[in-house]
Amino acid sequence: MDQRLLLIYNPFAGTGSFKERLGDVVDIFVKGGFAVEVYPTQSPGDGARKAAAPGILPDIIVAAGGDGTLDEVVTGILKSGNHIPLGYIPVGSTNDFAATLGLSGNIIEAAGDILGGEERFIDIGLFNNRFFVYVAAFGAFTEVSYGTNQSMKNFFGHSAYLFEGLRHIGDIKSYAMEVTIGSRKVSGEFIYGMVTNSLSIGGMKNLTGKNILLDDGLFEITLIRRPKNPIELQEIAGSLILGNAESRLVETFRAPSVSISAEKEVAWTLDGEYGGSFKEARLVNMSRSIGLLLDEERGQKEVLQTGK
């Protein structure tokens, strides 16, 4: 009897090219021994709803889209309480998490890699009562990722975030916060913060540090204090771009959880999409909680531990 595969795809992700190769992808999965159900998402959150209530339980779920689509499908699987291996075909405009894993950007190749892949478990973040795959962030430029026009993202890729961000550079806000990381408390005025499990953020690598592992139960946490003048702003930019430049304005930590308390509500993004505004945020690393089907020959060896 054929195994069942549920393919959830975003018809508008990236340039919409996945629709042109949909028949080829289905053919690959059918020849691989799967009875395939195809579901194009219709609205935000639809991928999570379908993955949480797929009807007859599939043996594999495949998400085809950008980071937001992956976020939705992971959320649905975790909410369902079912253990279902997940395959990912990255077809978004930036595909941060796919870049970290070294997944193929070729749709047909990525589909084949899923069939030949082994299940490897990765960490997922819990933000208050919501899941996120690789980044939760607040502050400067976070509104860019969900405010940038989709056609602009499609044309310019990750550069679109930078172009849009330059328009806001004179309007940097700061947030009075107390951040608790284990037994340590950090307080002050912060213009940006991110809690990550990825090498790539906004299409740019090495912003989160070195020796990143996606299955070690730890977040990489970056906090940026408010600069007092353009020179300090330049210092911050240099620290982030170079990755190894020290700055008293940029603080980094690794921890399994973090709590953030702000004087006023702060807007957050989760995996590049608007995640709501909160005064209190609790972020917890759910270690090795989702199983991804990964080709062992791809580049993820450096970001995963040797154990399955």
CATH number assigned to the domain comprising residue 199: 2.60.200.40
What CATH number is associated with residue 49?
A: 3.40.50.10330
C-alpha to C-alpha distances, 199 to 99, 134, 150, 165, nearest whole angstrom: 8, 9, 23, 21
Number of domains in the chain: 2
Whether 38 has a pLDDT exceeding 90, the answer reads: yes
177 located within any domain: yes
Within 8 A by CB and 6+ apart from 95, the residues are 66, 67, 103, 105
Question: Counting Cβ atoms within 10 Å, is residue 237 exposed (0-12), middle (13-18) or buried (19+)?
Answer: middle
Question: Counting Cβ atoms within 10 Å, is residue 168 exposed (0-12), middle (13-18) or buried (19+)?
Answer: middle
Q: Are residues 111 and 233 in the same domain?
A: no
Q: Are residues 25 and 60 in the same domain?
A: yes
Q: Containing domain of residue 223, as a range?
A: 130-286
Residue 235 pLDDT: 78
Q: Tokens in use for 90?
A: 């990255």
Helix (H) or strand (E) holding 168: none
Q: Are residues 152 and 273 in the same domain?
A: yes
Whether 159 has a pLDDT exceeding 50, the answer reads: no
Query: Can you say whether the dihedral through the CA atoms of 32, 36, 40, 46 is positive or negative?
Result: negative
Residue 143 pLDDT: 53
157 located within any domain: yes
Q: Are residues 152 and 274 in the same domain?
A: yes
189 located within any domain: yes
Give the pLDDT band of residue 209 (cuts 50, 70, 90). low
Average pLDDT value for residue range 50-75: 93
Q: Are residues 140 and 278 in the same domain?
A: yes
C-alpha to C-alpha distance for 258 and 295, rounded to whole angstroms: 32
C-alpha to C-alpha distance for 47 and 74, rounded to whole angstroms: 9
Whether 58 has a pLDDT exceeding 80, the answer reads: yes
Give the pLDDT band of residue 160 (cuts 50, 70, 90). very low
Q: Are residues 9 and 138 in the same domain?
A: no
308 located within any domain: no
152 located within any domain: yes
Q: Quick one: what percent of the chain has pLDDT higher than 90?
A: 59
C-alpha to C-alpha distances, 153 to 20, 92, 129, 148, nearest whole angstrom: 19, 9, 29, 7
Q: Are residues 90 and 136 in the same domain?
A: no
115 located within any domain: yes
Q: What are phi and psi of 121, to 5 degrees?
A: -90, 135
Q: Are residues 7 and 115 in the same domain?
A: yes
Whether the predicted model's global pTM rises above the 0.75 cut: yes
Give residue for tokens 């505004």.
Answer: 277
Residue 242: DSSP 8-state: H
Residue 247: DSSP 8-state: -
Average pLDDT value for residue range 156-177: 58
Residue 51 pLDDT: 96
Q: Tokens in use for 289?
A: 């909680």
Give the pLDDT band of residue 139 (cuts 50, 70, 90). confident
Among 126-135, 203-212, 265-274, which stretch is predicted with the lowest mean pLDDT?
Answer: 203-212
Residue 152 pLDDT: 41
Whether 147 has a pLDDT exceeding 50, the answer reads: no
C-alpha to C-alpha distance for 177 and 28, rounded to whole angstroms: 51
CB-based contact 290:86 (threshold 8 Å): yes
C-alpha to C-alpha distances, 308 to 32, 75, 100, 288, 305, nearest whole angstrom: 23, 22, 18, 10, 8
Return the amino acid letter for 20: E
Q: Are residues 19 and 60 in the same domain?
A: yes
Q: Are residues 151 and 270 in the same domain?
A: yes
Question: In this predicted model, what pLDDT tens digit does every residue of 224-279 receive, in sequence order?
Answer: 898 887 777 777 777 766 665 567 888 889 999 999 999 999 999 999 888 999 99
Return the amino acid letter for 162: L
243 located within any domain: yes
Q: Are residues 161 and 282 in the same domain?
A: yes
Q: Are residues 138 and 222 in the same domain?
A: yes
Average pLDDT value for residue range 176-181: 97
Whether 180 has a pLDDT exceeding 90, the answer reads: yes
Average pLDDT value for residue range 74-93: 94
Residue 164 pLDDT: 47
C-alpha to C-alpha distance for 77 and 83, rounded to whole angstroms: 7
Find the helix packing angle between 18-31 and 107-115, rounded to 10°. 30
Whole-number average pLDDT of the chain: 85
99 located within any domain: yes
